[in-house]
A and B are shown apart, each in its own frame.
Chain A
Amino acid sequence: MRAPADSGAAAATPSRRPDIGAALETLRSPYRPDGTGARDTFLSDLTVGELILLEEVGYAPVEIVSGAGSASWYPQFTTAGTEARMWGEAIATAIAAARSGIYSEVSQRAAHGVVAMRLELERERANLLTCTMLGTAVRATGETGQKPKHREGPFTTSLSARDFHLLTRAGYQAAGIVIGASVVGFNARSAAQSLGLARENMELEAQTNALYSAREQAMAMMEREALSLKADGVVAVELSERPVNTMLTHAVELVAIGTAVRRGPAGHKPLDPTLQLSLDDPTPEVFSSG
């Protein structure tokens, strides 16, 4: 806001509205790095809009950080159950290694958390699993007056900058990304015997229960992680299922990923959205190819 008209102050308070003249004046004097080195330049892959959304809730970008982990298991199984268990453990190992890699990069840069994290789980050949995580490390600037508490260590979230802004503005705190995984295997021979050979259209109870169980186990593992972060809930859960065939086993790999959140002491702070109606149409093509 401009200084009040009747103020006797000799120097006017700087205008709080954007002033291109003042911005260009800054460029007239040469930039002198303060000698702390290239490490302290912040790097951001965020768009300007995303930067604004972060700053409005009191965070600034620091650096891109990443972590990777990989694990394999040996296909010396005798039953579907053994392979399924080893596979599930490999997933957990790969994810844990990637997470600890990204945490150490975050601590090195004295940041408080990671936003817009991309998580990829890739299977190469038949038995090697690689997990990679990549995101923008951010630090709390404390400019909105609320200094967030980070007792629990750095948070990581796959929420976009926009989702992170909305959640924080509504009074929630991102606690971290939480993951659960499980694998259910059906021995190929017995599956072929029992499936597709019944005489009526009917439910196949054994398979239903097995898949059900595996799904619930993946969710339970994810929820336990959230409870350990003292979270109040998990949002944006993605449950992905990937059927996999190996030599003896027809298996389904289930992975549940979400973001654990904590409610603030004031509960949900209303956003009071307004309804809008867009008058946009898609851009007309001036030259369209035949």
Chain B
Amino acid sequence: MEEPDPDTISGAFHARPRVRGAPTSNLSVAEAAAVRRVGLSPVGFVMGSAVMQLTSAFAGGGYGGGIGLAGGMGLGGVGFGGWLSSARSSGLYAESYPCVHGFGFGVSADHYGFNAENTALAGGLFEGYRLALARLSDEARELDAHGAIGIELSFEHMVGTSSTATFLATGTAVAHRGSAPLQAPFLTNASGQNFERLIGLGYVAAGMAMGLGVVYVQPNCLARGDLTVVGPNAQIPSAVGAARSRARQWLARSGHAMGEGVVHTEWTDSHFGRFGESWNQLALAVGTAVRRWSTELEPFAPRAVVSLRP
């Protein structure tokens, strides 16, 4: 077998010195005990990462000066109202928030606002996570593991840029000694203890389900906190709601492909890519898709206790 080239991703993994019998892992003592109780052994700390150049359909912020919309329509050629209705008719979320003072669309970028679903950015983010998870899964397979538990996902902007981000997935690979490896290792964000409970409930983790929603927000004067007007600010809650609801939709779809349900879902709401006063509102949902392996198990029968406080 040829020498692994440490400058490639898989080469770097192979070049890592391996000590027999002492797998690395980031499990706590109690977590390792839970993993062993369920019949698995930790075989190594695994991770996957990717660096992506992300494009925003609304790069540069504001409107009027060369915004490229998903699909390549320039704003100048199509009126804003026309763009709104065509976005909506293709199933995307888009909403305009006119200026409360009455300034029109073209007059002032500080007054007219809109929310629009940013599918280009969502696609880029999803691909980054997907690559990171895929590489983590490859590492687990190299170790002959049956799955990886305690998976954590994160992304960070690279310092000094607004559109380059690193995606990282980490976890602990686990194996069932004495049985053949699976076609694809199972992946779960559940800890060792929670994985043990899932098995005891009759479910087995199949894979990570993920949903993402991104809404570009250009706030109108009211949403910028202009104190000269009175009235409700619906723009920001609406953007957060739309991002979450798209994330939920994709979470269900991705879960449905792998199992009967999604459990242990973790939600994050964040801002990505500020351009002046505008930003992308991001909602990320990550959970574990599960399949039933038994419906005949003993109930847990948790015991009621009163703790003596110190």
Contacts and interface: CB of A to CB of B under 8 A. Distances in A.
A28 interface: yes
Contact of B293 (A22, A33, A48): A22
B293 to A, nearest CB: 4
Interface stretch (A39-47, A78-86, A175-183, A255-263): A39-47
B231 A125 contact: yes
Interface stretch (A13-21, A216-224, A246-254): A13-21
B69 interface: no
Interface stretch (B97-105, B175-183, B270-278): B175-183
A24 interface: yes
Interface stretch (B54-62, B134-142, B149-157, B295-303): B295-303
- Overall SS of chain A's interface: mixed
Nearest to B253: A38
B42 interface: no
Contact of A27 (B186, B253, B294): B186
Contacts of B257: 31, 33
A274 B305 contact: yes
Contacts of B179: 21, 24
Interface in B115-155: 146
A223 to B, nearest CB: 29
Nearest to A14: B296
A188 interface: no
A275 B206 CA distance: 39
Q: Which of A17, A26, A48, A64 has the most CB of B within 10 A?
A: A48
Interface in B9-61: 38-40
Nearest to A166: B304
B224 interface: no
B264 A47 contact: yes
A17 to B, nearest CB: 7
Contacts of B199: 18, 20, 23
A41 B262 contact: yes
Contact of B248 (A33, A43, A56, A278): A43
B259 A31 contact: yes
Given A20-B40, A43-B252, A48-B201, A124 B296 contact: no
B204 interface: yes
A21 B39 contact: yes
A70 interface: yes
A53 B302 contact: yes
A24 B204 contact: yes
Given A124-B233, A166-B304, A47 B194 contact: yes
Given A26-B291, A39-B252, A48-B194, 19 more contacts: A13-B296, A19-B39, A20-B38, A20-B39, A23-B294, A24-B182, A25-B293, A28-B182, A28-B183, A38-B255, A38-B256, A41-B252, A43-B255, A43-B287, A48-B201, A53-B302, A125-B230, A271-B304, A276-B306
Interface of A: 13-14, 16-28, 31, 33, 37-39, 41-49, 51-53, 55-56, 61, 64, 70, 72, 124-126, 128, 130, 165-166, 271-278
